[in-house]
Chain A
Amino acid sequence: MTVVATRPGTTHDVEDVARRAPRRRISPERIAAASTLVVLGVLASAAVVRTDISIPNMIASWSNAEHFFQRVGTVRFPDPVTLLQQTALTVGLVLLGTLLAAVLSVPVAYLAAANTSPGRGWIAAARFVSVLTRAVPDVVLAMVFVLMFTIGTLPGILAIGIHSVGMISKLFADAIEQIDEGPRAAVRAAGGSRAQQFTAGVLPQVLPSWVATVLHRNDINLRGSVILGYVGIVGLGREMSFAFKSLDYSLGIGYAIVIFVLCVLMEVVSSTVRAAMLGVAPAGGGLGARALRARQRRRDQRGARDHQGARDQRGARDQRGRADQDGSIDAALRRPWTRTRVRNTVWGWLAVAVVVGSVLVCDIAWGDLATVWAKIPPVAAQFWPPGFGSYGAPVMLDAVFDTVAIALAATLLALVLSIVIGSFAARNVAPGAGVRGGARLLLVVVRGVPETILAVVLIVITGLGAQAGTLALAFGGIGLLGKLVADSLEEVARGPERALTAAGATRLQRYAGATVPQGFRAMLGHTFYLLDTNIRAATILGIVGGGGVGYYLLNAAQGSNYATVTAIVLMILVTVLVVEGIAMWMRRVFR
């Protein structure tokens, strides 16, 4: 009402309004955060220059590529027996490693989740384990284990198993924290102990998400197994590394194709298992998940008809009256073999068979588990204190800067392309269904190629160095970030978009004025997530020759300079923590 009274009616009030209007206040923190973003952008641009990504270089590389493909000639695959053997070995090893991590993660998650943990101290300790295992790359663990164990599958299983605890236990704990506390309280009210509350009230609620987590991690570990091959873990990765090292490009590319196909197949299988065991539609955007969703839609239509039939039958049975004699209760003790039960049983035994098969294939040297303990203390003692060994600090710091530069440059390149492709893949931005479908398909295909394979091939084409690593990470980053950008844009509120359209805005104005501002925060978070992932990945790509500190990491481990390994891991850890800190600060400021 007061608004009406003081509303300026004539033009000469404009000055008055301008005088009375509050001045725009930007908090110093916001200025600082915005400046940091600008600085990061500039640094990333500088990093692109530093990593030698330029148009002339690309053209030069192109002739290399032609040369390379001439040398590859025809792609050659290994003989079927070797192929089968190595594939089984790789899959079995990865599977057992992931399972080991899953088992180890249960107690860690129980202690880390706020609602199950016995105390604050336990939460902190469990979170520390989670962060620590995530921080030490599985490659580093593998390099160390390879030296401590007799050659075989055990180093790989342990490396995957320990490293994966970080991610799996974190996601397990998140799932525990998200449960509905009601059923657990009901078990408590009935007098259930803590352990009983967990198995009866918590576990059934989290199991679907736990299985999904483990399967997801298994896919990641299969992709990662390629790089494990470069440090001597048996399987397809090692065969590929041998082929490339002996300059047998046609065989190397053959192995690369096999691994690529295997990764896609594994994704299809894990999506199938998820859908079959849990009756949930896979949420991923991968090739397998897509194919399955389509199949499930058809099955749902069929299922709805079945369900109707079953309901009719039940109705008929209800009419025949309630069973109230002991006879019918005894009959009810036998669980009927419904289609669901048959299916679950078959899948269950299949899973057991796969695990047993993996153990057999891996031919684990169990004896090592007994003898290795004696080797741990002397080896562990060599890791501390960290030192730079013969390289010296300037060389190492330069290498770390290289790694960070690769990560920054790859993130920037991925971001620019992701915004373009991701926007076209968002339903509310894309000009048509065809464009959107095309963009989504492009993202799925890009995601399908394991980064390591890409890096290995690029290294052969462009030569050893930062350029190959950057391009490989940028390419992989598009698959991840492009999808996340598309999802963030699709998730914005539709109201403001409609309002701008109603006000006569063009498509582009609506995109800039309503869609992007709403999706900005999510996109910022995803970009920092990619930067975090890229720093870790850039370290690892150095091992296959992608530039940066990874090369020194491999050398140090293979030369048993453990002090240097510790120094490098610590440097990477600090870098990642700094990035994570900046990301958290950004999320808070740009709320």
Chain B
Amino acid sequence: MTNHHDHGDAPAAVEITDLTKRFGDTVALRDVSLRVRQGEVVVLLGLSGSGKSTLLRHVDALELPTTGSVRVEGTEVHRLHGRRLREVRSRIGFVFQQFELVPALTVLENVLTGSLATLRGPRLGLWSYPRRLRRTALGHLDRVGLLDRAYQRADTLSGGQQQRVAIARALMQDPTVLLADEPVASLDPESSDQVMRLIREIAADRGLTVLCSLHQVDLALSWADRIIGLRHGEVVLDTPTNGLSKAQVMEIYGQVATSTDELTAIEAELQPLLDAAERRS
């Protein structure tokens, strides 16, 4: 694997260059370039349809670029196939908005699917996974506070619990990069807090590079090192959160939102953020 430590203070964990993605006639991403340092927490802001999910999916090579390149830890993921691709994917944890657990499997087996890249051949059933991995998986379940649910079917859990299982599954990969696509958008406020706290703790404990799309602006400002705004598939904002002032935050939203209607809608959401920004400055 080649290293690209040649510029910047820390090596780039994710480096996207001139990425354009078309689905038929629609342009989902246009000339997106961004560089995420190792251990950096980057939050993607933008309305639905702005291209956040598509961008995240490119990092894991779940989508392939029409033009441009996507490097993860120096490797061009979109050029990889087979074993090498799976190896890179295994180092990238992905937390989905809809959790994406297999409903009919037990919680434990769902967590174990995170270890598939280290195993050869297809697996079905708990006993097809080595005892060592089962033990590790139980440890991760304990970490997310769901050890006692290990042998329940995944679909018997609440949304917040399912997302915690999905986090345990990502931990099973022992990732260096964590991608999260609106991880709490489908949850009630209480579980949403719990899940976000968990993600933040784990990311901090393990020094993970995080790329996370969110729509809670206050959360973004209090957690992220950097905020990237997307609109119609283009990067319209890329700024460190340090010392963002109230006025600047307003401007961010002027840039991210596309119409005055959206602006007013967002302003309602904005109040806690404005308070936070005020306290900060």
Contact = CB atoms under 8 A, between A and B. Distances in A.
A191 B173 contact: yes
B62 A189 contact: yes
10 contacts: A185-B100, A188-B62, A188-B89, A190-B89, A190-B116, A190-B170, A191-B116, A324-B142, A332-B147, A333-B138
B94 to A, nearest CB: 4
A interface, size bucket? 35 or more
Contacts of A343: none
B138 A199 contact: no
Nearest to B91: A191
Majority SS at the chain A contact face: helix
Given A191-B173, A205-B104, A333 B134 contact: yes
A73 to B, nearest CB: 55
Given A189-B89, A328-B147, A332-B150, 11 more contacts: A183-B103, A191-B87, A193-B116, A196-B121, A196-B122, A199-B122, A199-B123, A199-B124, A205-B103, A207-B104, A341-B151
B124 A203 contact: yes
Interface string A251-266: 0000000000000000
Contact of A200 (B102, B131, B139, B145): B102
A79 interface: no
A186 B100 contact: yes
A201 B169 CA distance: 14
B142 A187 contact: no
A335 B121 contact: no
Question: Top 4 A-B pairs ranked by shortest CB distance?
Answer: A191-B117, A191-B90, A182-B100, A199-B122
Interface in B52-93: 60, 62, 85-90, 92-93
Interface stretch (A3-11, A314-322, A496-504): A314-322
B132 to A, nearest CB: 10
A190 B94 contact: yes
A329 B90 contact: no
Nearest to A202: B102
Nearest to A322: B145
Interface in B111-157: 113-114, 116-117, 119, 121-124, 126, 131, 134-135, 138-139, 142, 145, 147-148, 150-151
B131 A333 contact: yes
B211 interface: no
Contacts of A204: 102-105, 124
B101 interface: yes
A204 B153 CA distance: 11
Interface of A: 180, 182-183, 185-193, 195-196, 198-201, 203-205, 207-208, 314, 317-318, 322-324, 328-330, 332-333, 335-336, 338, 341
Contacts of B116: 187, 190-193, 196, 200
A334 to B, nearest CB: 10
B96 interface: yes
Contacts of A186: 94, 96, 100-101, 113, 166, 169
Nearest to B134: A333
A322 B147 contact: yes
Nearest to A190: B114
B216 interface: no
Given A186-B169, A328-B147, A329-B142, A191 B89 contact: yes
A204 to B, nearest CB: 4
B151 A338 contact: yes
A190 B147 contact: no
B191 interface: no
A188 B90 CA distance: 9
Contacts of A324: 142
A335 B126 CA distance: 10
Contacts of A314: 148
